[in-house]
């Protein structure tokens, strides 16, 4: 969007004319022999977050008076673009900050200012106190899912880019916090990233059981299982894999694990299997579930890697409980 033509030379005061330069019409002073260039105005914006809420400013002056925007303003001559962003942040919100990184660049045509070049940074607070500046009617943190209509489309684009760049990291942090919780049961279990793998494991339970069956009937650590009926072994493995899937989904309680594996231990004792062999069958099944999950292409990006590591932790927790109660049942000890 072209701003109004320059009528007089800013150096000598002579009237300017329009002259072509490299095919572009520009204002020109014949007296000074100088072209005047119209460049986009540099605009800076900052994204400051607190508890997944973004700090916005309610504009107190035209244009867009009464509308919300990121802390935004023009860079001044003689200051870096980063310094301009931090200056505007402090002037409009009272918060002192430091630059974390570049979030977004955007060109925009504005009816009031002409062509603009928006540079948006992520910042972190280092000092100051939240308070509205002279050009602001209000300052407030907004949840990312309840952001009001913004004065500048470039602000909207920048926030979308910020959310897109942070979404994987936030998902990992949220899932990690839940995974480390002591009361990882019921509804909480359904919010973990590795929940995406529940269907993979449950839908492929028969394949995993088949892989385990080949392991158990050939591995030296489970020699006592080699002559056992393959269908009986297959059904037992299928049951355990299904239990694991239900436990991931929050539908299989620790009490259920205790009761099942205590009885499994007693049953294996009566059948004459060595405890080391019984525990080895569980260890092989844990390995086979883990390796099958990895074979589903889980190492393609950071989120996939975290999901795999989280699944590994949950596999370990489940099978550690299973081995513990199986041992107690085998030894005839009812109380854990």
| 148 alpha-carbon distance from chain centroid | 23
Q: What pLDDT is stored for residue 246 in this prediction?
A: 81
Asked if 204 and 306 sit in the same domain, the reply is: yes
Q: Are residues 192 and 312 in the same domain?
A: yes
3-class DSSP assignment, residue 37: coil
- Asked if the model's pLDDT at residue 302 lies above 70, the reply is no
Whether residue 69 is contained in a domain is answered as yes
The tens digit of pLDDT for each residue in 127-151 reads 999 998 877 899 999 999 999 999 9
Q: What is the CATH number of the domain that holds 216?
A: 1.10.490.70
For residue range 207-229, what is the model confidence (pLDDT) as tens digits?
999 999 999 999 999 999 999 99
Indicate if the pLDDT at residue 175 is higher than 60: yes
**pLDDT value, residue 86:** 97
Please give the residue range of the domain that contains residue 13: 1-38
In a domain, 196, yes or no: yes
This prediction has a pTM of 0.59
């Amino acid at each position: 969007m072209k701003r109004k033509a320059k009528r007089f030379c800013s150096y000598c005061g002579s009237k300017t004319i329009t002259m072509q330069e490299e095919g572009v019409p520009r204002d020109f002073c014949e007296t000074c022999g100088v072209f005047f260039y119209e460049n986009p105005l540099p605009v800076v914006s900052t994204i400051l977050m607190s508890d997944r809420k973004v700090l916005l400013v309610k504009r107190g002056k035209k244009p867009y008076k009464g509308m919300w925007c990121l802390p935004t303003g023009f860079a001044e001559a003689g200051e870096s673009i980063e310094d301009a962003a931090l200056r505007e942040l402090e002037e409009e919100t009272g918060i002192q900050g430091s630059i974390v990184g570049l979030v977004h660049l955007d060109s925009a045509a504005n009816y009031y200012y002409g062509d603009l070049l928006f540079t948006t940074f992520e910042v972190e607070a280092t000092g100051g106190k939240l308070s509205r500046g002279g050009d602001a009617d209000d300052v407030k943190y907004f949840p990312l899912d309840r952001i009001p209509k913004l004065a500048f489309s470039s602000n909207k684009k920048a926030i979308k880019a910020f959310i897109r760049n942070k979404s994987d990291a936030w998902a990992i942090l949220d899932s990690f916090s839940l995974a480390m919780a002591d009361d990882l049961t019921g509804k909480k279990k359904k919010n973990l990233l590795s929940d995406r793998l529940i269907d993979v494991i449950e839908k492929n339970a028969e394949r995993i059981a088949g892989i385990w069956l080949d392991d158990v009937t050939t591995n030296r650590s489970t020699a006592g299982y080699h002559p056992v009926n393959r269908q009986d072994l297959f059904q037992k493995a299928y049951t355990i894999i299904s239990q694991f899937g239900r436990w991931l989904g929050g539908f299989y309680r620790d009490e259920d694990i205790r009761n099942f594996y205590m009885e499994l231990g007693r049953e294996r004792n009566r059948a004459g299997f060595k405890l080391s062999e019984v525990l080895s069958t569980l260890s092989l099944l844990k390995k086979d579930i883990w390796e099958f999950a990895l074979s589903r292409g889980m190492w393609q990006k950071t989120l996939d890697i975290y999901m795999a590591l989280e699944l590994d932790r949950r596999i370990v927790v489940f099978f550690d409980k299973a081995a513990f109660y199986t041992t107690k049942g085998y030894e005839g000890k009812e109380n854990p």
